[in-house]
Structure 1
Amino acid sequence: MSLSGLSMRGALAALLFMLSALATAAQEATVAFGGRGDPQALIEVTADTLDVSQQDGRAEYAGNVLVGQGEMRMAAERLLVIYDEEKRAIARLEARGGVTLVNGPDAAEAEAADYDVASGQVELTGDVLLTQGPNAISAERMSLDLEKGTARLTGRVRTILVPEER
């Protein structure tokens, strides 16, 4: 092997090491997430049980909860639906327990998710894992803007990138 081949390989190894260290130490990352969603689309919820409270405008779904809105899909053990009585519309969805959120080709897992329906903002918290094809990003929190199709991950962000095979 030539000297130039060794120096090129050494430079590549050093670059990969530096990128790995930067990715591991990062505290925040912004990425695309599944394309744009439609917070105005109908929301469909299915579950094993449903408890409704007319007094406080809440409905709680439990067991194998599945939520669909446009291209977005969410699964969890429990889902609390909070209604805005003045607007006569759903204000928030609060999912707990093994939350999985899928939008287009991207998927995220977390312990909890809070979805502000009017703004199209979703906050995932607790051991967040985002997968995009073969790549993965983990963090403590992920803020998702469904209308823009972007996500911001914060809190000890770690990224694993799989280069294309040649």
Structure 2
Amino acid sequence: MSRFLTAAAIALGLAALPTIGDAQSFQGGQPIMWGADEVSRTPAVLSLRGRAELTQGDNRIRADRVEGTITDGDLTRVEATGNVYFVTPEQTIRGDRAVYTPANDTIVLTGDVILTQGQNVMTGARLTFNTRTEAARMDGGSGGRVQGVFHPERSGN
């Protein structure tokens, strides 16, 4: 997931500031594809609206809207809202809203969060995930609970 979130951040940064094209080599030169029904750009913000999607390799983020914020030439925030999906070969994460902060490699998904990895499923109100360390924390929200179904791997099969 780390590669994908970084790719999303780079894609937004590249689209908003074409002069930082060397940043693409950070992901080994894999192409970054993006699309939306409507795109707008200012020097500080790139917005993808309507079926917004960023893809790099096998990883994808999809939402009703994706917006990147650039401060002093650096991407400082990526926010996805409405029917947010982060999909990697290993897992699918769904939420109502996601905020990725490149400075601390953290993505926070909120709303009705569902994390699926194989047959394993975990649900809650807020998922905080560090893309560098892969440390995760799921919270149930006010009065809610975190719930899950985990299928242990069977040895010898």
- Structure 2 length as normaliser, TM-score? 0.71
State which drifts further: 123-132 or 45-54. Answer: 45-54
Q: Which residue of 1 aligns with 2:146?
A: 157
The reply to whether residue 37 of structure 1 matches residue 24 of structure 2 is: no
Cα–Cα, structure 1 residues 154 and 161, in superposed 2: closer, same or farther, change >3 Å? same
Gaps of 5+ in 2: 12-31
Letter aligned with residue 63 of structure 1: G
The total of aligned residue pairs comes to: 128
The reply to whether residue 73 of structure 1 matches residue 60 of structure 2 is: yes
The reply to whether residue 50 of structure 1 matches residue 39 of structure 2 is: yes
Q: Distance in 2 between matches of 1:149 and 1:104?
A: 15
Cα–Cα, structure 1 residues 148 and 68, in superposed 2: closer, same or farther, change >3 Å? farther
Larger RCO (alpha carbons 8 Å, 6+ apart): 1
CA shift digits 1:84-136 (9 cap, x unpaired): 1x2x1211111000000123311110000001123221000000000010110
Q: How does 1:100-139 map to 2 (within 5 A)?
A: 100-139=85-124
Letter aligned with residue 86 of structure 2: L
Q: CA deviation at 1:75?
A: 0.5
Asked whether the 8 Å contact 2:113–2:127 carries over to 1, the reply is yes
SS of the aligned residue for 2:3 comes to coil
- Structure 1 length as normaliser, TM-score? 0.68
Q: CA deviation at 1:63?
A: 1.0
Cα–Cα, structure 1 residues 119 and 71, in superposed 2: closer, same or farther, change >3 Å? farther
Cα–Cα, structure 1 residues 73 and 80, in superposed 2: closer, same or farther, change >3 Å? same
Identity in percent: 28
Q: Distance in 2 between matches of 1:70 and 1:146?
A: 17
Cα–Cα, structure 1 residues 38 and 133, in superposed 2: closer, same or farther, change >3 Å? closer
Tell me the C-alpha RMSD between the 2 structures. 2.3
The reply to whether residue 62 of structure 1 matches residue 49 of structure 2 is: yes
